[in-house]
Every structure is written in C-alpha cells, then in structure tokens.
Amino acid sequence: MRTSNSLGYLDELYNNLPCPGGSCSVTSGTGVSVTAGATTSGINFALALGGRISGTVTDAATGAPLASVYAYVYSASGSYVGYGSTNASGVYTTSTGLPAGTYYVKTSNSLGYLDELYNNLPCPGSSCSVTSGTGVSVTVDRRRAGSTSPWRWAVASTGTVADAATGAPLAGVSVQVYTASGSSAGSSSTTNASGVYTTPTGLPAGTYFVKTSNSLGYLDELYNNLPCLGGSCTVTSGTA
C-alpha cells in the first residue's frame, strides 16, 4: 500500500518508507495480510510535509501571463517526480510534496509556444536533457517533518461561502487569494459540500485579499461583502 496526494505531503509506502511521486518499488514495502470477510485495521500513515516549487510562465515578448501550461519537475537524476499547472495569472505551484534536494523544471504547452527548460533553455517537444538545466534547490519545513530544528511556518486562509438569502452553503465556488500589492498569491481553493474553503498553498505571514469566482449564477464578491462581478474590481479595495 502507498499514498498519493496533491496536498504537498511526502507520499509513503507502508510501513513508513519514502515514495515521493510514486517513485518506489511497491513490493519493497511491508505486506498487509487480508482475510476474506474480515477487516484488517491499524494500517496507518503519518505523512510529513514536503517542499514545493512555484513560479510564473509568461509570453516572452509581451510579458502576458500564460494559463494552462504544465511545469514538469525532475529529480537530480532526471526522473520525473511531479508537476504544476499555471492558472489565469500564469502561476503554477507543484502539488506533489518534494524531499529536500535539487530539481529541474521544464514547461509543456499546447498553446504554440516554444517550451523551455529552466532557466531559459530551449526544450521544444521535450528534446533536451533535463539535468542540463539550472537546478532548483528545495527545502523542507523541518519542524513539520519531525525535526526540532527551527523553521518558519506558513499559514493558510479558510472560510465559508453561503447563499446570502438563505444561508445555505455553496459548494464548487472558487476562492482566490491576492497579495497586499494586488498580485495573485498563487493560491486558490474550491468550497466543499459545507461551503468551506481552505487555501492549499502555504502563505507567508502578511496581508492578503480574497474574492470569489463561480459559475453557479451568484454575484461574486470581494471580501468583505463588496461586489466583484466577473472579477471587475480592484482587489486591494477589499478588507484585508
């Protein structure tokens, strides 16, 4: 048994063996004995947070952000370990938790742009050796990974989205976060069945602005209770 998640945690093979991005031989783990008609309990996992890679993809000529571009991540040996996809602001954040180390990143797109290997090396059609790129150093929050070494925590934002008239929770509403300067913080979340959202990306301590985006026919808002129809508002005019 092994885990697979997009929450930034380091996946494991039972029992307590690293398996980041599924890069492990599953039969090297501890086998779980199952009997017909019975439940085998106590097969637990305790996952540590890994590191992530984030960045922005833009049009080289105009500087305009490019959405729906994949950023694929490779280990120091050149093995694939995960990816991120750019949002409307051109920002990507890898969903796979990464152990501390050096990684290489390249783009993949169907928009007609020439793909690149970081940093600024041509890689059209993936015709490049990924380890020839500039390595990206990833660190891990040591306290949350079980060490006693000092490290700074990241924070998240959470809240509830509801129908203003009935108070009924609204599921499937996107909640987007912006920095104090009005730039995308690269963090968005979708409300669950209880109308609750929690930003998946850790945020450095600071001031942020939050707005909704939905396809349910509701009027979108900038926090706190300011109209933002179709995103047509200045996000920094909201309540931080």
The answer to whether position 21 is within a domain reads no
The answer to whether position 117 is within a domain reads yes
Per-residue pLDDT reduced to its tens digit, 104-131: 999 999 999 999 999 989 998 778 999 9
Residues 226 and 172 in one domain: yes
| Domain tally, the chain | 2
The answer to whether position 17 is within a domain reads no
The answer to whether position 172 is within a domain reads yes
Per-residue pLDDT reduced to its tens digit, 123-169: 987 789 999 999 998 877 543 444 333 333 345 667 889 999 998 99
Q: Calculate the CA 181 to chain-centre distance.
A: 21
> Is residue 9 predicted with pLDDT exceeding 80?
yes
Amino acid at 210: V
Q: Calculate the CA 132 to chain-centre distance.
A: 25
Domain boundary among 100, 133, 166: 133
Q: Look at residue 94 in the predicted model and tell me its pLDDT.
A: 87
Residues 71 and 116 in one domain: yes
Residues 115 and 167 in one domain: no
The answer to whether position 195 is within a domain reads yes
Residue 61 makes CB contacts below 8 A (sequence gap 6+) with: none
- Determine the structural domain holding residue 209 and report its residue range: 158-237
The answer to whether position 42 is within a domain reads no
Q: Look at residue 151 in the predicted model and tell me its pLDDT.
A: 32
The answer to whether position 177 is within a domain reads yes
Is the pTM for the entire model greater than 0.75? no
Q: What is the mean pLDDT of residues 185-212?
A: 82
Per-residue pLDDT reduced to its tens digit, 55-98: 899 999 998 999 999 999 999 999 888 888 999 888 888 888 88
User: Would you mind telling me the total number of residues written for the chain in this entry?
Assistant: 240
* Full DSSP string of 1-49: -B---SSSBPPEETTTEE-GGG-S-GGGS------TTS--------PPB
Residues 114 and 177 in one domain: no
Residues 190 and 122 in one domain: no
CATH number at residue 82: 2.60.40.10
